[in-house]
Structure 1
Amino acid sequence: MRQFVDIVRIPTPGRGLVEITPEVVDWLRPHGVRTGLLTLFCRHTSAGLLIQENASREVRFDLEAFFDRLAPEEAGRYRHADEGGDDMPAHLRTALTGLQLAIPVKDGRLALGTWQGIYLFEHRRTPRAREIAVHLIGE
């Protein structure tokens, strides 16, 4: 059994879903693991990870709109606003999306479904440099 751990840095343009499947595949490929488990962990409390459809931009648009309604930016609504009006809504959205994913590796490839992609969901308005811890175990 072999293990690999690293940090993948992902720039975001601001709020929204950023597909990171290509970056994850690029990281996985050179390790030569045929069968195993890849764990991804977002090292931030105002961005999350999810697996979602990657064929239609409308899915991402609808998800973003849903989260805007679910945790709106609204002056006076939240007590915590240390970093601005999008601070607490970003934390709420992260609590709902989660911070980690576990994806099986089969035949050297991620065992994602046909229309599935890995997304970093940036919940802050301004561009950020996000860090995703990756851990691969397998043979």
Structure 2
Amino acid sequence: MQQAAHQLTLSTPGAGLHEFTPAVTGWVAAQGLATGLLTLFVRHTSCSLLIQENAAPAARRDLQRYFARIAPESTAYEHDDEGPDDMPAHLRAALTATSLSVPVAGGRMVLGTWQGIYLFEHRASPHRRQVALHLIGA
């Protein structure tokens, strides 16, 4: 068994789903492991990780609108240290995931045809986000 670890820094322009599959694909391929398990972990509490449809932009827009409805920006939250999008960002992150696991076979991630890896930025303003990658395998 071998292991490899890496950290990606992603700059987001603001709220939305930001695909970073190519960066992960390239890193996994460079590790030279044929079979294994990749873990991705975002080191923040106001964004999340998703594996989502990467062919139809409407699917991502619908997803964003859904989360805006169930956790709307508001001044009614007690936690609003960084503005009205602060607590909704935490709620949206709590409803999604901070880590993902993706099998690796043949030296590649085993993603479906229309699947991509996304950072789901829940804050309105631009941010720099860190995603830790860990690959174990042979």
TM range (shorter): over 0.9
Distance 1:26 1:125 in 2: 29
**In the alignment, is residue 99 of structure 1 matched against residue 98 of structure 2?**
yes
Q: CA deviation at 1:83?
A: 0.9
| Structure 1 runs, 4 residues or longer, greater than 6 Å off | none
Matches within 5 A, 1:42-81: 42-76=42-76, 78-81=77-80
> Which amino acid in 1 is paired with 2:59?
V
Equivalent in the alignment of 1:113: 112
- Between the two proteins, the alignment pairs up a number of residues equal to 138
Gaps of 5+ in 1: none
Distance 2:46 2:61 in 1: 19
SS in 1 for 2:102: strand
Residues 9-50 of structure 1: CA distance to partner in whole angstroms, max 9, x if unpaired?
111010000011011111111110110000000000000001
Q: CA deviation at 1:6?
A: 1.4
Equivalent in the alignment of 2:15: 15
Q: CA deviation at 1:98?
A: 1.1
Residues 28-74 of structure 1: CA distance to partner in whole angstroms, max 9, x if unpaired?
11110110000000000000001011000000000000000010001
Distance 1:26 1:110 in 2: 10
Q: CA deviation at 1:5?
A: 1.0
Counting aligned pairs with the same residue, the percent is: 58
Distance 1:97 1:21 in 2: 18
Structure 1 vs Structure 2 CA RMSD: 0.6
Equivalent in the alignment of 2:83: 84
Distance 2:30 2:53 in 1: 26
Distance 1:109 1:6 in 2: 16
> Which amino acid in 1 is paired with 2:65?
A
